[in-house]
Amino acid sequence: PVKPNLRNVSLRYYQREAVDKWIQNNYRGIIALPTGSGKTIVGIAAVVEKPVRTLIVTYTREQMFQWRDMFIKYTDIDPKFIGLMYSEEKRLAPITITTYQSGFRSINEISPFFNLLVIDEVHHLPADKFRYIARHSIAKYKMGLSATPIREDGKHEELFPLLGGIIYYKTPDELVEQGYLSRYRIITVKVSLTPEERKIFEELRKKYRALVGETSFQEVLEAARKGDSKAVEALRIHSKMKMLLAKSYSKINKAVEIARNEYENGNKVIVFTQYIEQANEISKRLNALLLTGEIPVDTRKNILTRFKESERGILVVTTVGDEGLDIPDANIGIIVSGTGSRRQFIQRLGRLLRPKKNSVEAKLYEIVLEKTPEEYLARKRKRLELE
């Protein structure tokens, strides 16, 4: 095995504590640190402390390349000792980085080579693949990294013990207090459906209720999976309702208005949306940079660089921007549409929380349609934030 040393970085106290906790726990366990607080550095420091053959599993390809670049930047390792395993390259090395898709396909063949397994973003690897990779890896030492100790699907109770359970945890608020992350404010802005949209929405809602009554959405999903035709029809209507809300005209107008104001005040703004058409419309009206899953990776990198280097700017991102893309600092976020999941919310907030020079307060605007399920979701999220 190679024995890398850290360079160009000194660990913050909580990164050091996290690694020490992991060592005391026999080199096993999950470390939960907010987005933007340097989780990857903790993983790299762990490899430095336990220099054995290591397999690192990331959520996306972009993250895989990021890990490699950070290993090269923050340790003295010779790049030839870092291998990548994905569709276009399959090279095993003392430190091998793969995506969960490739890891899932090849874990049985490659597992015998590795003594340390590091899984990044453990809070949302698909449960079946997570379980499979964690169970089929014969690595004696394991580390998980996560932005939140809770999974949306509630499966943290059964999955996290596979890596040794949560051994270290810091909330965004603690790190904000200590000056490691920016101060932030969440601002909920309410808008209304147009009379025409409201009429269509209420008709759809009526049809949905007539089909499923008070059955929970999870149960409707389950029934649809089993081929229940009523449930399948209900899902179709549900997704129409979601689209109607997401594409509501007043939301787009409000997002454009807020982004324009913040930009004119010299800020860097990221607009988050779930839908490509919406992203196109907003970026056109603002003449802003646009990042969607359909844009080739090289072009994406150029767009990010342009945003990074500008003093002020607006970047519109669809869901591709939510995971694993190293989106440069911005101090204003605007959520136009999202999944409503707490994890996605925390992830988006984290994009704005990396500490800024002259410590500007970060603001996250959430545009919510009143008298729709969005209002309920926003309240539910606020409650979770407080807990």
The DSSP result for 309-326, as a single string, is HSSSEEEEE-GGGGSS--
108's tokens: 């049985």
Q: What is the pLDDT of residues 338-372, one digit of tens each?
A: 666 666 676 677 766 666 665 677 888 989 898 88
- Cα(74)–Cα(326) distance, integer angstroms: 17
Please name the residue ranges forming H helices in 5-75. Answer: 13-24, 39-49, 61-74
pLDDT in tens, 44-102: 999 999 999 999 999 888 889 989 999 999 999 999 999 999 888 889 999 999 998 89
Q: The domain 184-193+248-386 is classified under which CATH number: 3.40.50.970, 3.40.50.300, 3.40.190.10, 1.20.140.10?
A: 3.40.50.300
Token pair 């939510």 in the structure block, residue: 322
Position 386 confidence tier, pLDDT thresholds 50, 70, 90: very low
Structure tokens at 166: 């949560």
- The CATH H-level (homologous superfamily) assignment of domain 13-171 is P-loop containing nucleotide triphosphate hydrolases (3.40.50.300)
What residue ranges do the domains of the chain occupy? Answer: 13-171, 184-193+248-386, 195-246
Residue 179: pLDDT band with limits 50, 70, 90: confident
Considering only residues 230 and 386, tell me which one the structure prediction assigns the higher pLDDT.
230
SS3 at position 54: strand
Least-confidence region, from 22-26, 83-87, 271-275: 271-275
DSSP string, 350-381: HHT-SPPGGGPPEEEEEEEETTSHHHHHHHHH
Neighbouring C-beta atoms of residue 247, cutoff 10 Å: 18
Question: In angstroms, rounded to a whole number, what is the distance separating the alpha carbons of residues 102 and 86?
Answer: 6
3-class DSSP state of 222: helix
What is residue 169's three-state secondary structure? strand
- Give me the amino acid identity at 174: E
Residue with the bigger pLDDT between 362 and 317: it is 317
Chain position carrying tokens 């690897």: 125
Is the distance from CB of 247 to CB of 253 less than 8 angstroms? no
Same CATH fold assignment for domains 13-171 and 184-193+248-386: yes
Residue 166: per-residue pLDDT? 93
> Running DSSP on this structure, what letter comes out for residue 117?
E
